[in-house]
């Protein structure tokens, strides 16, 4: 079963603009991670935020986490055509041996 739901399902922006993707989940978590998947490839880890953190930055990426609302957002600033990919949130449920449950993903297209 999918734990997270990303919103929007698809997003199309111009190069240089910012892209924001949202993720909602259902259970208590230890951490939330974001992964990127280029077409026909495996997933690549982008960033991890723990349940006791509210915001984290990595390069052009900014992730926020609101555990009271069970939601997270991923912001990509100054987007590039190379950012075109699917983005997935994944959660590590508290008290579960299962490592990660993935959401349904947001397909981001950055137009040159």
Partner 1 sequence: EAGVAQSPRYKIIEKRQSVAFWCNPISGHATLYWYQQILGQGPKLLIQFQNNGVVDDSQLPKDRFSAERLKGVDSTLKIQPAKLEDSAVYLCASSFSGAGANVLTFGAGSRLTVL
In the complex, least distance from residue 80 CB atom to partner 1, rounded to whole angstroms: 22
Contacts of 97 (CB under 8 A, 6+ apart): none
Residue 9 Cβ vs partner 1, minimum distance, rounded to whole Å: 9
Q: Identify which of residues 15 and 24 has a Cβ nearer to partner 1 in the complex.
A: 24
* Distances in whole angstroms, Cα of residue 67 to Cα of each of 28, 38, 52: 8, 29, 9
For 33, the token pair is 């991670």
Rounded distance between C-alpha atoms, residue 55 and residue 62, angstroms:
7
Q: Which of 77, 66, 68 is nearest to 32 (CA)?
A: 66
Comparing CB distances to partner 1, the nearer of 71 and 101 is: 101
Nearest alpha-carbon partner for 44 in 108, 87, 104, 101: 87
Minimum distance, C-beta of residue 92 to partner 1, in the bound complex (Å): 7
Contact positions vs partner 1 (CB under 8 A) = 1-2, 4, 30-31, 33, 35, 40-45, 48, 50, 88, 92, 97-105
Minimum CB separation from partner 1 for residue 47, in Å?
10
Residue placing its CB nearer to partner 1 in the complex, 33 or 84: 33
């Amino acid at each position: 079963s999918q734990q997270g739901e990303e919103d929007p399902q698809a997003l199309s922006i111009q190069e240089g603009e910012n892209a924001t993707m949202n993720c909602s989940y259902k259970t208590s978590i230890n951490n939330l991670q974001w992964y990127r998947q280029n077409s026909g490839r495996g997933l690549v880890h982008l960033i991890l935020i723990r349940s006791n953190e509210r915001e984290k930055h990595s390069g052009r990426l900014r992730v926020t986490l609101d555990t009271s609302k069970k939601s997270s957002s991923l912001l990509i600033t100054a987007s590039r055509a190379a950012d075109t990919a699917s983005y997935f949130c994944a959660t590590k449920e508290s008290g579960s041996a299962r490592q990660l449950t993935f959401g349904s993903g947001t397909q981001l297209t950055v137009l040159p």
